[in-house]
Structure 1
């Protein structure tokens, strides 16, 4: 899975041709979650509370870029890196 961002030890990836709804994968310290970035909710898995808050804040800031990457991924095109949470 291509990495699209990395911040505070949280790795964000997106799969090509992944199932709907639009989402990304977040991984921190061995824990993983699928995040629906349109609705700001966890679809599957879990992250520690603090890291989940950071991921959801990042997703809200970068919603348009995430959607662009989702569309690229659906067509098997290379994905763009997205700026980390600073």
Structure 2
């Protein structure tokens, strides 16, 4: 998305990453370390969303349905499937 590349968003993400994530609905425990890393022409980072508890028996296709765009930029957790208790 275009806003993801905007100077104001990127500046806020560096200065207040927890605040930016909170706006997306992701509240992290104080014990969770947050790092803001920037890609360059020579270096890219990959966000790997946490696997929700209780999804060990899901197929790759089923797991892919739990992951949104926001998961891939690190501002929300994957959806927890119905019938699975969120941890």
Look at both structures and tell me which one has the larger radius of gyration over its CA atoms. Answer: 2
Is the pair's TM-score, using the shorter chain for normalization, greater than 0.5? no
Greater per-residue helix proportion: 2
TM-score (norm 1): 0.24
TM-score, L = length of structure 2: 0.24
The structure in which a higher percent of residues are strand is: 1
